Amino acid sequence: MRLFTAVLPPPAAVAELTAALAPVRRLPGARDLRWTATDGWHLTLAFLGEVPDDVRPELDERLARAARRHEPHTLRLAGAGHFGDSALWTGAEGDVRALSHLAGSVRAAARRAGAPPAGEQHAFLAHLTLARTPRSARVPLRPLVDALAAFQGSSWSVDTLALVASVPPRSGVPGEQPHYDTLAVFPLGRTQRPGQGPGQGEGPGGGPAGADG
C-alpha cells in the first residue's frame, strides 16, 4: 500500500482556497491541467511509498509517539508557486518552522519503523498541490501563479497529523486522479482526551521536537 503522512486542512480553509481558485481556473490553459480534488488536499510531511502490511503496527505506534512530542501550531494557506512546468501549488504561512520540525520527526519515525521516506535528500517545503501538467500539454504556469500570489487564507490550528493511503486509479481513464484514504489520525501533544484510546490521540501539551524515540 502506498502511504504518506500529511496535515489535512480544515473545511473552512478548503472552502476559501476553492473560492480563490475559481478565477484562476478560467485563465488560458487552465483547462488543460489536471486539477487535484478538493477532498484530497493535503500538506505532505513524508511520502513513504509502498509499505508492507506487517510494518503498519510499528509505524502507527512510532507516528503516534512522534505526534505527542509536538504542540499544536497555527498555519494558513497562502501564496502560490510551481515546480517547473509540472505542478502548481499554494504554500503555507504561520508557524512553518513547527511544521518542518514535525515533518522531521515523522520522517525519523517512519525510518525506524522500516518505512524510510522517499526524497529525504530534499529540504522540506510546505505546499499543497493544486494541479499537474499532463505530459501531452504545455501550459505556462507563471500566469496562474501570479493570479494566486496574493491569496491568504484564514489561520487554523494544526493539531493532528494523518497517515494516508494513495489508491491508484483503476478505470484506465486518462487523467484520473488517485484516491486518498485516511487510515489513521494522530493528535499532537501529550494530554489524553476523554474517550480516546491509545493511538487515537492525545491533546495539547507538548515536548521537544525531534526524532520519534
| Higher per-residue confidence, 147 vs 174 | 147
Domain 2-195 belongs to what topology? Answer: Cyclic Phosphodiesterase; Chain: A, (3.90.1140)
Ranges 40-44, 80-84, 134-138, 152-156: which has the least confidence = 134-138
Ranges 5-14, 147-156, 172-181: which has the least confidence = 172-181
The candidate with the shortest Cα–Cα distance to 4, out of 111, 98, 117, is: 117
Which tens digit of pLDDT belongs to each residue from 9-44? 999 999 999 999 999 999 999 999 999 999 999 999
137-156 average pLDDT score: 95
Please name the helix (run of DSSP H) or strand (run of DSSP E) that holds residue 65, with its range, or none.
helix 56-68
Catalytic residues: 42, 127
Q: Across the chain, what does the average pLDDT equal?
A: 88
Which tens digit of pLDDT belongs to each residue from 44-59? 999 999 999 999 999 9
Structural domain boundaries in the chain:
2-195
- Bridge partner residues of 203 (DSSP): 191
What is the C-alpha separation between 158 and 155, in angstroms, rounded? Answer: 9
E strand segments, the chain: 2-7, 34-35, 43-50, 73-83, 87-94, 127-132, 156-158, 160-167, 179-187, 191-192, 202-203
> What pLDDT score was predicted for residue 197?
41
> What pLDDT score was predicted for residue 190?
75
User: pTM of the entire structure?
Assistant: 0.84
Is the pLDDT score of 183 beyond 90? yes
DSSP helix/strand/coil, 68 = helix
What is the C-alpha separation between 138 and 22, in angstroms, rounded? Answer: 21
Q: Which three cell numbers mark 18? A: 476553492
What is the C-alpha separation between 128 and 117, in angstroms, rounded? Answer: 18
146-174 average pLDDT score: 91
